A = this chain, B = another copy of it.
Amino acid sequence: MPELSYGQYSLVFNMLSFAVASMFGAFAFFVMSQKLIGAKYRASMVVSSLVVLIAGYHYWRIMGSWEAAYTLVDGNYVSSGKPFNDAYRYVDWLLTVPLLLVELILVLGLGKGKTGPMLTKLVIAAVLMIALGYPGEISTDTGTRHLWGTLSSIPFVYILFVLWTQLGEATANSTDKVKTLFANTRWVLLMTWGFYPIAYLIGTFGGAESASAAVGVQVAYSIADVTAKALYGVMIFAIAYEKSSADGSLPTT
């Protein structure tokens, strides 16, 4: 681990804490939000709540690992000798990315025949994307990082392409308000997912041992996760709420 200034160390620490608070806050919201929408949209909130609960657990662990990996010496943070565990993020993604895909497909309401096959393809692509990214993430060699990063981008682009197209089709037969929400969701999806390769690339700036690269990766992944999981779930909630409102299924008791 590279030596960090007090400000650099604290920035990461507070971003991780921000992620913990956001994820657990979002968990409580998604659990309770199930009573604010129509019964048939409840399943997507159930899945949302799992995503942020699992992510909250991992961020709690990442915070602990970050704290243990550093010691304060003369106003700077130096490696304590304990390694920082990068794997938490990848284990998290292995569980949460397939769930995020389920959440999205559920709210699209594709119909019986299409949901299963589409989900199978997307989940396989997601597992490939995460598994191919990991060897690069733990490497301190820039070339290795670029190689695995590029391989991981292939399933990544495939997933985004499929989702973008599907979200476009879903808007076709909806009310105007739902249409706007779907259009926004599509952009949020593109922007939040697009953040991950940027975060990955930050890890190669100034050499893998540079302090600003180490800080940049943690901050960028935290922002990407909070947006893609918590904020994204809130947008799915908004869609479910508007759909419930439009079809008269809002709970009255």
A residues lining the B interface (CB < 8 Å): 6, 10, 13-14, 17-18, 20-22, 24-25, 27-29, 31-36, 39, 42-43, 46, 49-50, 53-54, 57-58, 61, 72, 81-83, 85, 87-88, 91-92, 94-95, 250-253
CB pair A72 B81 closer than 8 Å: yes
Secondary structure of the A side of the interface?
A: helix
Q: Which one of A14, A33, A81 has the highest number of Cβ atoms from chain B below 10 Å of its Cβ?
A: A14
What separation, in Å, do the CA atoms of A226 and B186 have in the docked complex? 33
CB pair A91 B39 closer than 8 Å: no
CB pair B91 A57 closer than 8 Å: no
**Which chain B positions have C-beta within 8 A of A20?**
57
**Known pairs A20-B57, A54-B21, A81-B72; A42 contacts B36 (CB<8 A):** yes
Q: Which residue of B lies closest to A99 (CB)?
A: B25
**Which chain B positions have C-beta within 8 A of A54?**
21, 24-25
**Which chain B positions have C-beta within 8 A of A83?**
6, 72
What separation, in Å, do the CA atoms of A31 and B49 have in the docked complex? 12
The oligomer's copy count stands at 2
Closest-CB distance, A172 to chain B (whole angstroms) = 25
**Which chain B positions have C-beta within 8 A of A253?**
39, 251, 253
CB pair B39 A252 closer than 8 Å: yes
**Which chain B positions have C-beta within 8 A of A24?**
53-54, 57
What separation, in Å, do the CA atoms of A1 and B29 have in the docked complex? 37
What separation, in Å, do the CA atoms of A253 and B57 have in the docked complex? 31
Q: Which residue of B lies closest to A31 (CB)?
A: B32
**Which chain B positions have C-beta within 8 A of A14?**
85, 87-88, 91
Choose one: B21, B34, B81, B250; the contact of A32 (CB below 8 Å): B34
19 of the cross-chain contacts (CB-CB < 8 Å) are A10-B87, A14-B88, A14-B91, A17-B87, A18-B94, A18-B95, A22-B95, A24-B54, A24-B57, A25-B54, A28-B50, A32-B34, A32-B49, A34-B35, A36-B42, A39-B250, A39-B252, A72-B83, A253-B253
